[in-house]
Structure 1
Amino acid sequence: MAFSTSASNTYDPTASAQALTDKYTADLQARITAQTKAATATSGGLVNLKMALTSFSSSLLGLTNGKTLLTQSAALSNTALGSATTSSTAAAGTYSLFVEQVATNHQVSFGNLGDTPSAEAGTLKIKVGTGDFTVDLSKANNNGDQLLSVKEIAAAINAEPKNNSRVTASVITIGGVAQLVLTSNVSGAEGKLDFDTSALGSGALGTAMTPKPKELVEAKNAILWVGARPVDGVDNGSRVEQSSNTFSNIDGVKMTFTKAQAIGDAPMTLTVALDSSATTTNAQSFVTAYNKLKAVLDGLTDPGDPSSGKAAGVFSTDSGVRVLRDQLVRTLRETAAGSLATFGITAQRNGTLALDTTKFEAAMKANPAGLDKAIGNYSSNTPSGIAGKLNKFVDSWTSSNGMLTQRETSVSKLQKSLGERQTKFEADYTAMYNRYKAQFTQLQSLQARMAQTTDMFDALFSSDKTK
């Protein structure tokens, strides 16, 4: 009688070890993965929240910190003569102005310099108003030909460190003759150029530069009359003389003139008035800044809609973020129903703000200072009005020890802990896998030996005998 066995139940030790390891570790890996995903989402949500709060703070701070939303405009009746700008301190009004003279930059030229032996050159002292600097022309030859050209003199003046760009030297060639042109970069009479050539020596260069240079442009101060220019010795206005063409004698107004008026011309008019367009833009910026923050908070706290597959926001169950959102909405609703509504800024049903520009412009004309009083100041030093209240809420999150910092620290620790758990899990997984693989490899070896033994018995007890 004979018997046989089969090796049909052989298997792969690697696949078997991995399948068994996965079976015992799947739940733990799923928990770590889910927690890591949640922590990553929370971290990303905090980044978005921080960006939104910081952007909102910057916008309101730029609009209200020591400033006014009210914008004035300044216009000259003759724009060919210059331009004017205003600051928040400018008061509405009309002014008569007469530009008698604009400031000029002194400019002179030296001719007949030619190429001078550099060994004969000395030092040139240039005076600009109350200051001066000295240029050593004996070291100005750069090409090694021992001759000092006009271009090399100009280059030495421009490169002198103590010049500090107060004087610009250039070369103009007329009729084949190079001339050294020096221009003062200090306008008005205080920028007048003077020269001390006594240390240039008695050579050709000293001889050529000792005579007084040719004056191309006289150094003049700007002269402005606030009111009418005197006629026949009768002073009907206030005379202002200065070295600059930019005047700031009228509070909050800066005027820059480029051209003088002719004798007999009528005075020009400067008009300072409310700039409705720019002021409306400032108000809209306030509305837009708030609505952007509101949109981010709504997205982060959105409960989602499982029926439509819409995912919930990362902070949908976070009471702290919801309280922040609700505080902002409540503050704006309460105020927008009163003082802000007077200026056409109203809260909508969804909590956002809207600006009625027609109503806003009419209210600004009737009460220009009212908007600043209602919105207030966002400064952390002197908070006031709506902006001050909003600053209080936002600062509780964005300050150095605020809610954002605390939450960022907490989620960072959690992510670090989860990273360490994942590292340990992978090490444990590898150890378990290797252990199972070694065991299944031994079992496979045992199975092979058993199969060999079975084959031997089959051969020994086979019924097929030779007769």
Structure 2
Amino acid sequence: MADYSLGYGGIGSGLDINGMVQQLVAADRKPADSSLNRLETGAKFKLSALGTVSSAFSTLETTLKALKAADAFDARTVKSSVDTVLAATVGKSTSAGGSTPTGAYSIEVLALASANKWVADAPVAADARFGAGKLTLTVAGEDLSIDIAADSTLADVRSAINAAARSKGVQASVLTSNDGQFLSLSSDKSGAANTISLSFAEGGSDLQALVGSMKQRTPAQDARISIDGLTITASGNTITEAVPGLSLELKTLGTSTVTVTGDPASNRKVVKEFVDAYNAAIDAINASTKYDAENKTPSALTGDAQMRSAAGQLRNLMGNLLGDLAKQGLDAKTLGIQTKGFPASDGTLVFDSAKFDAAMVANPEKIRAAFTGKDGFADKLQTAVGSYLGSDGAFTERSNSLNAQIKDVATRRAALDARMEAVGNRYKRQFVAMETMLSKMTSTSQALAQQLAGLAQ
């Protein structure tokens, strides 16, 4: 609050000059201040309500994007009849954009993939030393030359092999038993193509004897399965290429039946999320525009033309889209989606999950074609919803306009502050003049009184 005191108070008049100036300024300010407050409060009230509606529309758009995706109804469940033989999992869709084919697959695991492993069968004493020489390690058909330094221990030979071959997926190690030390070679990669072998190139008989003692303990072998009589091989025990989208983790030899079916819960979920989001958008508009007749209180956007237009557009489009579905044989009784009827009709949807599940079993491809893809149910509705969102959306432009109003109010309030300060200073100058005049009058009065008192004597 500005200080409009004169520094010496109302000495001449005895009045509370500061208080009087403040009251005068407040009276002058009140009409403009009230107008600005109404503008700011109204804009913020509308902005808050618009934000709620925009958020609901944004959620609806997200669900529509999921609903129109090519893989929206591709969810599958899979079960292996004998889990100890193999485990089966299935993705939502294949890389080609199609769902994993449903049906039962008879699978026999004929062989498991294994990685090549070699272990020497002749022990080496812990203090044994090898003369200088060369070894050749062949990894998947590639020869690697390994230099062995003079006076090397078995651990040194192991280290020389690892230095040359570790990056190729081969690891050498020294195993110790009651009989002594043994050299071991193993590959990290399974499959017949990833064979390894160690051969002697040059050096002494001790090094040659070490290499000659190496025996294959585990062969490099491909996995091999039969699916409905067709043979498939793979370098590993996880097979993903046999059936689109189906992954098979092989565990042991044997037979199992893998059954792939549509996943009703996931397919229902994508539609239910859309219905819930659509209803939330309609509810947000209704809440922001309702009028409380009992208390005669409007909402933030009661009577708002943009809200009426948005609600009308959604309802009309939804009516047309549901009509199009009905023409395709997917009416409310079949599909389980319809608008809420009398007496509680408010533009929202009603979803019957049991009917929808039955429709998905009876006509999965018809439902996929109706809802997904370009110009499908979800795409048309998303186009309408999207026109209100984004940088150029109608709601965004409205929000920008309301924010601009709030900013303008702040600018006008700052100007009002400056103007009222000038008014206060003007009142202050007037009171200063009044005090000066009263002071002179008081002095004159006192002088006259003294003169009159002198005459009376």
TM-score, normalising length from structure 1?
0.71
- Residue 437 (structure 1) aligns with: 428
Name the CA distance, whole Å, in 2 between partners of 1:35 and 1:226: 74
Are 1:188 and 2:191 counterparts?
yes
- Residue 292 (structure 1) aligns with: 280
- Residue 64 (structure 1) aligns with: 68
Name the CA distance, whole Å, in 2 between partners of 1:439 and 1:215: 113
Q: Which amino acid aligns with 2:292?
A: D
**Counterpart secondary structure, 1:272:** strand
Q: Which amino acid aligns with 1:103?
A: A
Match of 1:14 among 8, 13, 18: 18
The 5 Å alignment of 1:258-277 reads 258-262=250-254, 267-277=255-265
Match of 2:375 among 375, 380, 383: 383
**Counterpart secondary structure, 1:67:** coil
Match of 2:38 among 34, 38, 63: 34
* Unaligned ranges ≥5, structure 2: 1-9, 150-154
- Residue 372 (structure 1) aligns with: 368
Name the CA distance, whole Å, in 1 between partners of 2:307 and 2:147: 70
Q: Which amino acid aligns with 1:425?
A: L
Instruction: Return closer, same or farther for 1:173/1:195 CA change in 2, 3 Å cut-off.
Output: closer
Q: Which amino acid aligns with 1:226?
A: I
- Residue 411 (structure 1) aligns with: 402
Render the CA deviation track for 1:25-66: whole Å, top value 9, x for unaligned: 222222222222333334334433333222211212123222
Name the CA distance, whole Å, in 2 between partners of 1:137 and 1:408: 77
Are 1:93 and 2:97 counterparts?
no
Instruction: Return closer, same or farther for 1:402/1:308 CA change in 2, 3 Å cut-off.
Output: same
Are 1:321 and 2:307 counterparts?
yes
Shift of 1:226: 0.9
**Counterpart secondary structure, 2:291:** coil
Match of 1:345 among 334, 337, 341: 337
Render the CA deviation track for 1:297-345: whole Å, top value 9, x for unaligned: 2223x232153365503x3232123212122123324444633412111
Instruction: Return closer, same or farther for 1:169/1:113 CA change in 2, 3 Å cut-off.
Output: farther
8 A Cα contact 1:248 1:254, kept in partner: yes
**Counterpart secondary structure, 1:89:** coil
Match of 1:243 among 235, 246, 266: 235
Q: Which amino acid aligns with 1:83?
A: A
Render the CA deviation track for 1:213-265: whole Å, top value 9, x for unaligned: 887765432211113xxxxxxxxx22111123333345443122140225xxx
Name the CA distance, whole Å, in 2 between partners of 1:327 and 1:11: 66
Name the CA distance, whole Å, in 2 between partners of 1:244 and 1:383: 43
Which deviates more, 362-371 or 166-175?
A: 166-175
Are 1:421 and 2:412 counterparts?
yes
Q: Which amino acid aligns with 2:52?
A: N
Name the CA distance, whole Å, in 1 between partners of 2:426 and 2:371: 71
Instruction: Return closer, same or farther for 1:261/1:19 CA change in 2, 3 Å cut-off.
Output: same
Shift of 1:454: 4.6
8 A Cα contact 1:113 1:208, kept in partner: no
Which deviates more, 128-137 or 59-68?
A: 128-137
8 A Cα contact 1:397 1:403, kept in partner: yes
Render the CA deviation track for 1:188-209: whole Å, top value 9, x for unaligned: 345556789999x99xxx9999
Instruction: Return closer, same or farther for 1:419/1:329 CA change in 2, 3 Å cut-off.
Output: same
8 A Cα contact 1:340 1:374, kept in partner: no
Alignment RMSD, CA only?
4.9
Shift of 1:272: 1.8
Name the CA distance, whole Å, in 2 between partners of 1:197 and 1:422: 94
Instruction: Return closer, same or farther for 1:449/1:358 CA change in 2, 3 Å cut-off.
Output: same
8 A Cα contact 2:75 2:99, kept in partner: no
Name the CA distance, whole Å, in 2 between partners of 1:192 and 1:445: 113
* Unaligned ranges ≥5, structure 1: 1-5, 116-120, 139-148, 228-236
Are 1:73 and 2:69 counterparts?
no
Are 1:226 and 2:227 counterparts?
yes
TM-score, normalising length from structure 2?
0.72
Q: Percent identity?
A: 22
Render the CA deviation track for 1:259-316: whole Å, top value 9, x for unaligned: 0225xxxx3111122322332223322212212222222223x232153365503x32
8 A Cα contact 2:68 2:379, kept in partner: no
**Counterpart secondary structure, 1:397:** coil
Shift of 1:133: 10
Render the CA deviation track for 1:86-128: whole Å, top value 9, x for unaligned: 535223221110112333455678998999xxxxx9x999986
8 A Cα contact 2:80 2:257, kept in partner: yes
**Counterpart secondary structure, 1:75:** strand
**Counterpart secondary structure, 1:99:** strand
Shift of 1:19: 1.8
Q: Number of residue pairs matched?
A: 421
Shift of 1:452: 5.4
The 5 Å alignment of 1:180-219 reads 186-191=189-194, 218-219=219-220
Instruction: Return closer, same or farther for 1:207/1:135 CA change in 2, 3 Å cut-off.
Output: closer
Instruction: Return closer, same or farther for 1:7/1:434 CA change in 2, 3 Å cut-off.
Output: closer
Instruction: Return closer, same or farther for 1:397/1:191 CA change in 2, 3 Å cut-off.
Output: farther
Q: Which amino acid aligns with 2:357?
A: E
- Residue 290 (structure 2) aligns with: 303
Name the CA distance, whole Å, in 1 between partners of 2:307 and 2:148: 72
Name the CA distance, whole Å, in 1 between partners of 2:214 and 2:438: 113
Name the CA distance, whole Å, in 1 between partners of 2:431 and 2:209: 106
Render the CA deviation track for 1:129-162: whole Å, top value 9, x for unaligned: 5889999999xxxxxxxxxx99xx79x979x9x9
